[in-house]
Amino acid sequence: MADDCIFCRIAAGEVPCTRVYEDDTCLAFMDIGPLADGHTLLISKKHYEFIHEMPADEAAHLGRQIPALARAVQEAMGADGLNVLQNNGHVSGQAVGHVHFHFIPRVPGDGLGYRWPARESDTETLKKQADAIRQRLGT
Ligand code: AMP
Ligand code: ZN
């Protein structure tokens, strides 16, 4: 547990939350500053700052909760869709340095929008990038 981490303190029961799901290793609760009605967070109880720091089996346990939680959040809010979002690093928008997934229900005209400023690329560039990634994966 990181003493200065708000999500560790929530996981330890030192700071209250509005809980929707809990088991030995993860916890889901309502976001205190929701982007939409029903905005829910899923956290690992153990402190990891970034997703790539998590052991695969612990990340897999979090991942196993995603379909049921996504369905429950979307249906409970009567939403038409849902964004599942996981930020890593300040540059990505991460404000709380403890791994968490956002579940954000979406309805038409909710004003949240969706920014996806796709760029053009070319096969040569994509191949180089894939090579660099594959090298690190060892595949
Ligand atoms: P991120 O920008 O991905 O790190 O998201 C952090 C989220 O945590 C924000 O949506 C905050 O509203 C939410 N948050 C921060 N403190 C609390 C808290 N005590 N209880 C519930 N949600 C929180
Ligand atoms: Zn933490």
Q: Rounding to the nearest 10 degrees, give the CA dihedral for residues 133, 117, 93, 55.
A: -30
* Whether the model pTM is above 0.85: yes
Q: Rounding to the nearest 10 degrees, give the CA dihedral for residues 15, 21, 27, 31.
A: -60
Dist. CA 105–CA 100, nearest whole Å: 16
Q: What is the CATH number of domain 6-137?
A: 3.30.428.10
Is residue 100 part of the annotated active site? The answer reads: yes
pLDDT tens, per residue, the chain with 139 residues: 887 999 999 999 999 999 999 999 999 999 999 999 999 999 999 999 999 999 999 999 999 999 999 999 999 999 999 999 999 999 999 999 999 999 999 999 999 998 899 999 999 999 999 999 999 999 8
Dist. CA 106–CA 82, nearest whole Å: 5
Dist. CA 119–CA 129, nearest whole Å: 15
Pocket flag, ligand 1, residue 95 (CB < 6 Å)? yes
Domain-wise residue ranges, the chain: 6-137
CA neighbours within 13 Å on the CB side: how many for 6? 8
Which residue from 14, 42, 96, 98 has its CB within 8 A of the most atoms of ligand 1, so it is best to mutate? 96
Which one-letter DSSP state was computed for residue 117? -
Q: Which atom of ligand 1 is nearest to the CA of 97?
A: 4
- Convert 19-69 into a string of H (helix), E (strand) and C (coil): EEEECCCEEEEECCCCCCCCCEEEEECCCCCCHHHCCHHHHHHHHHHHHHH
Pocket flag, ligand 1, residue 88 (CB < 6 Å)? no
In residues, how long is the chain?
139
Residue 4: other Cβ atoms inside 10 A? 7
Pocket flag, ligand 1, residue 55 (CB < 6 Å)? no
